């Protein structure tokens, strides 16, 4: 598989300086964010210097901290792999032998239902590993989570990127998440198919970018070469919806929310134009039978020539499982000027308030160890297959795949997934795409989406 190396210096600069959009102050809209830092409209504001992590190493535990706690983790890289997590818990127990951690592994198909059922039965887990859209905008906003302000020490705030910090707290400043890792979501193409169709001329392989005009030309070339299913606007559910949002917002510079994250703006003329374009393109189909995970599988088996639900973890996992026998070329989403705004992701820990002070204290100790211990923190991030939310050095030195994907971090746009009514908006989004795919007028469907989403946001 062809991989273009990025020097360790560039990797370090990307990690330290380039977090332009993760939601928070002075955010810009890209295709509204799913992750990190707020950036000015030109996406040029980057952090100039690395913040040094001065947090004290976790102290070894004692019997006074004894507790049995539960960790429920979504499949964030190898945090969904029992063997990997067992090794990390063994490291934790070497320092804190009296805190016993039981793990439940969730997926993105049923995980939310499992947690909601547990909440209703007063059996919520102690710790959850996920992102701000769940920990902050959903469960935190409902008053179900513990305020983690004591983990957000001055040292922590000095070390963690400002944009990430902003995404981890509610609009009234309550910290419901302590972050671990982040990424920029991309799309990907089957380079072999594009090369055979003469479509590589329409993209910049080195930068991984292309314009909206050249995206159209490339898709048409692949379609004309016999690939009937070039790509799909998947919409059977919310899984992987960051990909469809990014695609639609980037094509003509539309937005998903306003900069303040108080109102949904997906009914902009730019987004309507983007949806109409996709609906008209040969080789791009609105498919109500699949969600993001299905699209990934169909891309890996050659059914599709491109995937919109993609990131470094998708490639790493599918390569390791032997699911890919072609050259994957990761790409940013197409935009009119070739300067994309990518959705990002932030993942970290939150604690459900189950009314047990001892378990809450033990849970905070666990989080502090996993995210701040000088030896463990790099291992915890590496297990995610994503990047640190603070400067941990070049933890992927020598990893060509992770170095290749590092070039997309500077394109990260606004992290908007903390707007109110997020859960309802996600459902309304794929319902809207289904309506458009079945023939509903684009403007009508989009207005219905915005009405539904903003009604939920106002509650």
State pLDDT tens for residues 130-140: 999 999 989 99
Residue 405: what pLDDT?
A: 92
Nearest residue to 247 (alpha-carbon basis) of 218, 284, 283: 284
Sheet (strand 387-388) strand order: 99-105, 67-73, 127-130, 344-351, 178-184, 387-388
Is-contact 249 340, C-beta < 8 A?
no
pLDDT of residue 440: 98
C-alpha count within 13 angstroms, C-beta hemisphere, residue 280:
9
Q: Please state, in angstroms and as integers, the Cα–Cα distance from residue 20 to each residue in 36, 71, 351, 408, following that order.
A: 7, 31, 28, 11
- Please check the confidence at residue 124 and state whether its pLDDT lies above 60: yes
Predicted local distance difference test score (pLDDT) of residue 4: 35
What's the average model confidence in pLDDT over 74-80?
93
Q: What is the reported pLDDT for 63?
A: 58
Torsion of CA 395, 49, 342, 423, to 10 degrees: 90
3-state secondary structure of 328: strand
Q: Of 126-130, 238-242, 406-410, which one has max mean pLDDT?
A: 126-130
Query: How far is Cα of residue 144 from the mean position of the Cα atoms in its chain?
Result: 23
**3-state DSSP call for residue 69?**
strand
> Lowest-confidence range among 26-35, 47-56, 182-191?
26-35
Biggest alpha carbon distance in the chain? 69
Q: Determine contact, residues 457/264, Cβ cutoff 8 Å.
A: yes
Mean pLDDT of the chain: 87
| CA–CA dist 338, 411 (Å, integer) | 11
Angle at 427 (CA atoms; ends 422, 431), nearest 5 degrees: 140
Q: Give residue-wise pLDDT tens across range 34-73.
A: 333 333 333 333 333 333 343 444 444 555 689 999 999 9
Q: Look at residue 293 and give its three-state secondary structure.
A: helix
| Residue 415: per-residue pLDDT | 87
| Contact partners, residue 113, CB within 8 Å, separation at least 6 | none
Partners of 188 in beta bridges: 307, 330
User: What is the phi/psi pair of residue 124, to 5°?
Assistant: -60, 145
Strands in 248-390 per DSSP E: 284-287, 306-310, 328-331, 344-351, 387-388
The three-state secondary structure class of 260 is coil
Q: Which two tokens stand for residue 312?
A: 């470094």
Q: How many CB atoms lie within 10 A of CB 204?
A: 14
The C-alpha atoms of residue 294 and residue 298 are separated, in whole angstroms, by 6
pLDDT reported for residue 109:
85
What φ, ψ does residue 394 adopt, rounded to 5°?
-85, 85
pLDDT tens by residue, 192-234: 999 999 999 999 999 999 999 999 999 999 999 999 999 999 9
The 3-state DSSP class for residue 84 equals: helix
Work out whether strand 284-287 and strand 306-310 pair parallel, antiparallel, or are unpaired: unpaired
């Amino acid at each position: 598989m062809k991989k273009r190396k990025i020097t360790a210096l560039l990797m370090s600069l990307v990690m330290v300086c380039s977090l332009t959009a993760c939601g928070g102050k002075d955010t810009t809209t890209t295709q509204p964010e799913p992750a990190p830092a707020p950036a000015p409209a030109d996406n040029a504001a980057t952090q100039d210097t690395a913040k040094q992590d001065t947090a004290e190493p976790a102290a070894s535990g004692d019997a006074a901290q004894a507790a049995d706690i539960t960790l429920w983790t979504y499949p964030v890289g190898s945090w969904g792999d029992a063997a990997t997590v067992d090794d990390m818990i063994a490291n934790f127990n070497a320092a804190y032998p009296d805190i016993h951690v039981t793990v439940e592994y969730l997926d993105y198909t049923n995980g939310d239902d499992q947690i909601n059922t547990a909440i209703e039965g007063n059996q919520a887990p102690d710790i959850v590993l996920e992102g701000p859209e769940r920990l902050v905008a959903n469960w935190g906003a409902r008053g179900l989570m513990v305020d983690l302000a004591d983990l957000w020490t001055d040292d922590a705030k000095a070390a963690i990127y400002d944009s990430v910090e902003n995404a981890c707290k509610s609009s009234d400043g309550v910290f419901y998440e302590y972050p671990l890792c982040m990424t920029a979501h991309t799309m990907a193409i089957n380079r072999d198919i594009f090369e055979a169709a003469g479509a590589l001329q329409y993209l910049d392989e080195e930068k991984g970018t292309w314009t909206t005009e050249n995206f159209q030309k490339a898709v048409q070339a692949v379609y004309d070469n016999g690939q009937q299913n070039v790509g799909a606007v998947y919409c059977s559910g919310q899984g992987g919806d960051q990909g469809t949002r990014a695609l639609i917002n980037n094509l003509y510079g539309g937005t998903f929310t306003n900069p303040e994250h108080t109102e949904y703006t997906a009914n902009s003329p730019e987004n309507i134009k983007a949806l109409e374009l996709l609906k008209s393109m040969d080789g791009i189909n609105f498919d109500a039978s699949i969600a993001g995970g299905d699209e990934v599988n169909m891309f890996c088996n050659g059914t599709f020539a491109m995937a919109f639900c993609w990131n470094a973890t998708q490639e790493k996992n599918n390569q390791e499982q032997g699911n890919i026998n072609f050259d994957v070329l990761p790409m940013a989403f197409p935009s009119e000027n070739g300067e994309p705004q990518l959705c990002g992701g932030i993942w970290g820990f939150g604690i459900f308030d189950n009314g047990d002070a001892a378990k809450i204290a033990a849970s905070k100790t666990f989080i502090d160890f996993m995210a701040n211990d000088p030896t463990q923190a790099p291992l915890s991030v590496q297990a995610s297959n994503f990047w640190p939310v603070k400067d941990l050095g070049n933890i992927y030195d020598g990893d060509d795949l992770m170095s290749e994907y590092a070039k997309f971090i500077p394109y990260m746009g606004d992290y908007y997934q903390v707007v109110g009514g997020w859960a309802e908006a996600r459902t309304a989004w794929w319902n809207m795409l289904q309506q458009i795919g079945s023939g509903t007028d684009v403007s009508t469907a989009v207005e219905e989406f915005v009405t539904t989403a903003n009604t939920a946001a106002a509650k």
